Amino acid sequence: MATMKREQELYAPVKSLLEAQGYTVKGEVGAADVVARRGAEPPVVVELKLRFSLALFHQAVARLAVTDLVYLAVPRPGGKTARRALKDNLGLCRRLGLGLITVRADGRAEVHCDPGPFAPRKSKSKATRLLREFDRIQGDPNTGGATRGGLMTGYRQDALACAVYLCANGPARGAVVARATGVTRATQVMYSNHYGWFDRLGKGAYALTAIGETEHIAWLAGLPGDVAIKGGQDENALPEDPGSDLPEPSETTESPEPTVSPEARGAPAR
């Protein structure tokens, strides 16, 4: 089968999949693209589309008023970006209690998930890191929706605190900077030197580079009035913070979710 150009080309593979499970299948029944029945079991509804879209999810959710067994069916995408999108849309299907079927170029239909209730697992570690970063950022220096490149993170605030101290006092050891600024990870921040602001002089001593002298002043000038650079108090940072995963230098040394059995519910099996 060549690249699909019409939704009708999805019908035969989906119908074959359902019929192999003992369903009687009919197309374009009422508002539904595909309806399948097996004895006295609840009907199965399948919405056919050539690609994922918000409208497709709207249609599928509307069909949940008729039956709990609602599937989306789309051609199976190819390419790295498309596969990532498939994974994201699969997660959305599970969240909405929808099933997902993809049809390969050879005409074979594959069930990725079945309809049913879904309880997403919460990540306590991610929630903890998020709250730590919230507490670490001083004031409210960022406008919601801004791009990542220009954000004031807790890590950048720590780097600014170190830069301010070095600018005012000259080269110093990391431990001295940490005590003076309250940035407990001062040595780590200057050692990782993500922004190119610090120059290691040896034996844990650091100085500002020419770039650091210029850029830290520019960042300070752009801070809101309610933000005072004093250095973060938290030793942990979100993974996005540069250098947070590096080892602390010393002063002397450098699921896939399981799906409910389709047979147990009368839904199409894989």
Q: Compute the average pLDDT of residues 16-45.
A: 93
CATH of domain 124-221: 1.10.10.10
Per-residue confidence band for 223, with pLDDT thresholds at 50, 70 and 90? low
Residue (of 270, 269, 268) closest to 45 by Cα position: 268
pLDDT at 178: 93
Separation of CA 231 from chain center: 28
With a pLDDT cut of 70, the percent of the chain lying above it is 78
Helix, strand and coil content of the chain, in percent to the nearest 5, comes to 40, 15, 45
pLDDT at 9 over 80: yes
pLDDT 10s digits, 131-175: 888 877 777 776 676 666 677 888 899 999 999 999 999 999 999
Q: Where in the chain is the domain with CATH 1.10.10.10?
A: 124-221
pTM score, two decimals? 0.54
pLDDT at 130: 81
The contacts of residue 80 (CB under 8 Å, 6+ apart) are: none
pLDDT 10s digits, 50-109: 989 999 999 999 999 999 999 999 998 877 888 888 889 999 999 999 999 999 888 899
Q: Where in the chain is the domain with CATH 3.40.1350?
A: 8-120
Supply angle C-alpha 25, 26, 30, rounded to 5: 135
CATH of domain 8-120: 3.40.1350
